[in-house]
Each structure stands twice: as C-alpha cells, then as structure tokens.
Structure 1
C-alpha cells in the first residue's frame, strides 16, 4: 500500500504544473491579462479623455475672456476717439466765436468813434431845428418832477434767460474742461 500511495503522491505533485520541453525556462507572465489591468487601462484612457476635454474647455474660456477684453478695449478706444472729436469740434467753434467777437469789438470801436464825432451838441441842435423842425420848449411846457431818493426799479421774471440742460456727453466733457 505504501507503494501505491507513493505513486499517487508522484502523480499529484505534477498535477498543477506543466512540463517544459527543451532547455528554456517557462514564461513567468501568464497568457491572459488579469481583469484589474484591463480596468486600469480603461480608467487611464477615460482620465486622459476627461483631462483633454477639461483643457479644451479652459482654452475656450480663456479665448472668450481674451475676446471680451479686446472688445472692451476697442469700445474704450472708440469712445475716446468720439470724445476727442467732440472736444476738437468745440475748440473750433470757440475759436470761430472768439474771431467773431474780435470783429464785433473792432466794429463797435469804429462805431463808437463815429458817434463821438457826431455827439457835438451844437451839431445836434442845428439838425433838430433845421432838419426835423423841432423848437425849444416854452417855459409853460417844462414840468419839473421830484424823484424820491428811495426810488427803485422792479425787474420781473419775464426777463430771465432760460438755460438749456446740457446733454450727457456735454456734462461729461465739462468735467474734463480746464477752468
């Protein structure tokens, strides 16, 4: 019986192993890949896809941000150019008005000089008598009046100048004007 048991033990010893033919050692790596390695590769692939999508999303957000900043800068440049044009137009108008004022002042000075020459009282008296047919008043036609010292004049609101409300752009430009 011992012989029979030894023979069975010998059989059982080689039951789980394979016979290697030749003088080359057998492969340590099994022919099949364990399931956890396949899952690991799939997870790595999914993670790579997820990271690529996140990177694309970040790039799109960054591009949109850059576009918005460029639009804001462009709008600011347009607003600045518009304000500059308005200021230059107002400067031209002011220069024209100053030229017009200078011309009017010189005309006024000329007219004043002419009037000063014509304010000769004797000349005025002769013109009134000869050309207009006027005469000096008779003593009964002269009426003297006494004006009290506390006399005053009342000015009513109808003489007020109505001032226009400046536009929004004009009010902004008034902030930048030098006084």
Structure 2
C-alpha cells in the first residue's frame, strides 16, 4: 500500500495528475470515468418515453374534460333558451285566454242588461192573473225575511286583465 501524499496545505492529495499552487481548488477527477452501457441508455430512453406518454395522456384527459364542460354548458344554455321560449309562449296564451274571458264577461253583462230591459212586470202580472188564474197574496199571507245583501248578490272583481301586469324579469323581456 502506498503512503498518503499531502499537498503544501496539509490536505490529502487525491491523485490528480498535476499540482496546483495557491488557494485554488483542485480539479477533482474520479479515478475512473464510468461509461454508460446500452442497458443504461435503454432504461433512460424508456423512462423518457413513459414520461412523454404520461404527459400526452394527461393533456388528452384535460382536453376531454374541457370538451365535456363545454358540451354541458352548451346543452344547459339550449335548455334554458327552450324553457324561456316555452314560458313566453305560455304568457302569450295566458294573455289571449284572459282577453277572451274579459270579452265573455262583458258580453254576459250586456246580455243581462238586455234581459232586465225586456222584462215587463205589467205583462207578467196580466199573464199570471188571466191565463194562470193567480191572485195577489193577502196582507196576512206576506212574510218578510231579512236577507243580507251579500248572500244573494254575485260580485265580480273588476276586470283583472288591465289591473294585473307582469312584474320582474318577464315584463322586461316581453317589451
């Protein structure tokens, strides 16, 4: 076994082929330079290919997720627009039905007024006494009852088509 060699600073001499003067670090060279075999190169190449394939797979998965999100958003917006169109059509139908109801109510009121105008109480009294043999009741046969006015009077609300207006988003979107 060879004796250890020391430099002038007292450090162990590592076997480099030249001596350095001053306080510069030694150029350390290993005693042997390892060489890479084909197996090592194949391992690194296969590892790089696997890493590249993993990156490609990850990018494809990310792209598919993005496409799925876009498709879901598109389908949701189509469904939202469809529902909005449906609501708008129902509102148009509702307005048409309300106007038809208002026309029918006014027509009924006109017919009721005509009916009350055509009733002739003198003609009815004459027909009842002459043709049917009826007579007016005697005072002791008349019984008066106190009936509250609301119990026999039908009260209709005022025309709701004019008073009832859309509010909120629908009124804004229908203009």
User: Which of the five TM-score ranges fits, normalised by the shorter chain?
Assistant: 0.5 to 0.7
Q: Report the alpha carbon displacement of residue 137 of structure 1 after superposing the two structures with TM.
A: 1.2
Counterparts in 2 of 1:65 and 1:143: CA distance versus 1, 3 Å:
same
Which structure is higher in helix share?
A: 1
Q: Which residue of 1 aligns with 2:101?
A: 101
Q: 4+ residue stretches of structure 1 with deviation over 2 A?
A: 33-44, 118-135, 138-145, 175-178
State the structure with more CA Rg.
1
Q: Which residue of 2 aligns with 1:142?
A: 142
Partners of 1:78 and 1:54 lie apart in 2 by 36
Partners of 2:89 and 2:82 lie apart in 1 by 11
Q: Which residue of 1 aligns with 2:110?
A: 110
Partners of 2:132 and 2:65 lie apart in 1 by 87
Partners of 1:143 and 1:109 lie apart in 2 by 32
- Structure 2, unmatched stretches of 5+, are 1-32, 152-167
Q: Report the alpha carbon displacement of residue 127 of structure 1 after superposing the two structures with TM.
A: 4.5
Counterparts in 2 of 1:132 and 1:94: CA distance versus 1, 3 Å:
farther
Counterparts in 2 of 1:79 and 1:134: CA distance versus 1, 3 Å:
farther
> Which of structures 1 and 2 has the larger relative contact order (alpha carbons within 8 angstroms, sep 6+)?
1
Q: Report the alpha carbon displacement of residue 80 of structure 1 after superposing the two structures with TM.
A: 0.9
Q: Which residue of 2 aligns with 1:167?
A: none
Counterparts in 2 of 1:48 and 1:121: CA distance versus 1, 3 Å:
same
Q: Which residue of 1 aligns with 2:58?
A: 58
Q: Which residue of 2 aligns with 1:122?
A: 122
Report the secondary structure of 1:137's partner residue.
coil
Counterparts in 2 of 1:176 and 1:99: CA distance versus 1, 3 Å:
same
TM-score (norm 2): 0.52
Q: Which residue of 1 aligns with 2:80?
A: 80
Report the secondary structure of 1:36's partner residue.
coil
Report the secondary structure of 1:89's partner residue.
helix
Q: Which residue of 2 aligns with 1:41?
A: 41
RMSD across aligned positions (CA): 3.5
Q: Report the alpha carbon displacement of residue 144 of structure 1 after superposing the two structures with TM.
A: 4.8
